[in-house]
Amino acid sequence: MASFIEPPRLRIGEDSEEERRATWLELFYDLVFVVAVSQLAHYLHDHVSLSGVLGFVALFIPVWWSWIGTTFYANRFDSDDVTHRLLTAVQMLAIAGLAVNVHHGLSESCTGFALSYALGRVVLVVEYVRAGWHIPTARPLTNRYATGFTIAAVLWVISGFVPIPWRFVFWTLGLIIDFATPLSARKLQLELPPHSSHLPERFGLFTMIVLGEAIVAVVDGVSEQNWDVLTVIAAVFGLCIAFSLWWVYFDNLGGTPIQKARTEGRVTIFNVWLYTHLPLVMGIVAAGVAVELVLLSKPMLALSDAVRWLLCGSIALCYLGLGILHRIGVIRYCKSRAKFRIGAAPIILAIALFGKDLLPVAVIGLVALVCAVQVVQDVTQSRPTTRLVEPEI
C-alpha cells in the first residue's frame, strides 16, 4: 500500500501501453466470484430444463456484470489506499450475498439477491464519484457512469419490494440501463480508453475461473461414480473439451480491440469484444455442468435429452462466440479460424439432434472430437504466414 489515503489516479495516458498486471487485491477480489460461479453451476445442475437454463442466465448476468463494473473501474482509476480496499471489501460482501441467494434467487431469495446486486452498484457509484472528484478530466465519464448505475441500482432496490412478476420487470429495466450506460458514453470512452494489456489479462482470469469450474465438474462427476471404464473414458473426453476451449481462447487472446479503440476510434469492436464474452463464459460454465451430468448418467443407457442438449448447446454457444470474436478481429483475426469455430456450432447441435440413442460416452466423445479438430486447426495453420488483416467495421 503506497499510503494510508491516496486519491484515485488515472491509470491510462502517455504510459498506457506499458505492461500492467492484475494487483493482489484484484486477484483476491476474484476469489469471491469463484464461489459465485460455483453456486450458479449448482443451480443449473439442479434445474436441467429450458426454464432452468433461462433462470441460470437471469442469475448469471448480474454476477458477471458486477465483475465487469469493478474491473473497468480498476482498469482506469485503481489506487491502493485504505478507502479503495474497504470499498472493495464491501463489494466482495455484495457478491457473497449474490452467491448465497443464487439457489432460490428467482423465488424466496429474490429480495436478498436484488439488494445484494444493488449494494454492489452503489459501491461502484461511490467509487466513480470519488474518482471524478479527484480527476477533473475524467469527470464527464465518471458522472455518466455514476448517473446510469444509480438509476439501475434504484430499480433493483425497488424490485426487492414488489411482487413477482413485476420484480423481474424491474430487474430487466435495471440491467438494460446498466448495459446501455457504457454504450451511451462512446465519445467519452474514446477520451479515456482502457489499458490495453491489463484488461485482456483480467478477462482471461475470469475465463480461467469458469474453466476451473468445468474441471471441478469433471472431478465431482467421477468421484460420485463407481470406477467404470466408460465413465473414466467419458471423464477424459470432458477434460479434453475443457483443454480445447482453453487452447483456442488463450492462444488467440490479445489487446487488439482496445488498441483499435485507442488509435482508430473504433469503439464498436471493443464493445463487441466486451459483450460477446457473456455468452462465452456462460457457455463454459453450462458445459462444465453438462459434463458432470454426463458422468453421473448410467453408462449403458442412452443419455437423456436434457443433458445431451445442455452439453451440445453450451459448447456450440462457446464456439459461436469465439467465431464472432475471430471474424471481426476482436481476438486474432483469421477467416479460417472463424469458419472452423462457427462451423463447429451446427455440427455439435447436429450431435444433439441425431444422438438420441447414443450412450453418454459416445455423445461426449463426439463433442470432444469436434473440439479437438479446433485445436488441430490452430496448430497446423502456419502462424508465420497468417496475415492478421484488419477488418473494416
| Range in 4-13, 66-75, 284-293, 304-313 with the lowest mean pLDDT | 4-13
Residue 22: pLDDT over 50: yes
> Which residues, other chains included, contact 232 with Cβ-Cβ below 8 Å and sequence gap of 6+?
222
Give yes or no for a contact between 321 and 203, defined as CB atoms under 8 angstroms apart: no
- Least Cα distance to 149 among 190, 186, 171, 121 occurs for 121
Q: Is the pLDDT of residue 3 over 80?
A: no
Tell which wins on pLDDT, 173 or 13: 173
Q: pLDDT band at 14, cuts 50/70/90?
A: very low
The pLDDT of residue 386: 42
Q: Whole-angstrom Cα distance, residue 238 to residue 220?
A: 12
pLDDT in tens, 77-97: 888 888 889 999 999 999 999
Q: Residue 144: what pLDDT?
A: 93
pLDDT above 50 for 387: no
Instruction: Mean pLDDT check: name the lowest of 143-152, 198-207, 316-325.
Output: 198-207
pLDDT at residue 250 tops 60: yes
- 382-393 average pLDDT score: 44
Domain ranges of the chain: 24-191, 198-381
pLDDT, one tens digit per residue, over 227-236 is 788 888 999 9
Percent over 90 (pLDDT), the chain: 56
The pLDDT of residue 23 is 86
pLDDT grade for 225, boundaries at 50, 70 and 90:
confident
Residue 265 has pLDDT above 70, yes or no: no
Confidence of residue 292 (pLDDT cuts 50, 70, 90): very high
C-alpha cell at 24: 493482489
Tell me what pLDDT residue 390 has.
42
Structure confidence at residue 269 (pLDDT): 77
Q: Is the pLDDT of residue 393 over 50?
A: no
Kindly state the average pLDDT of the residues 339-363: 94
Question: Alpha carbon of 305 to those of 22, 52, 226, 289, 368: distances in Å?
Answer: 42, 14, 23, 15, 18
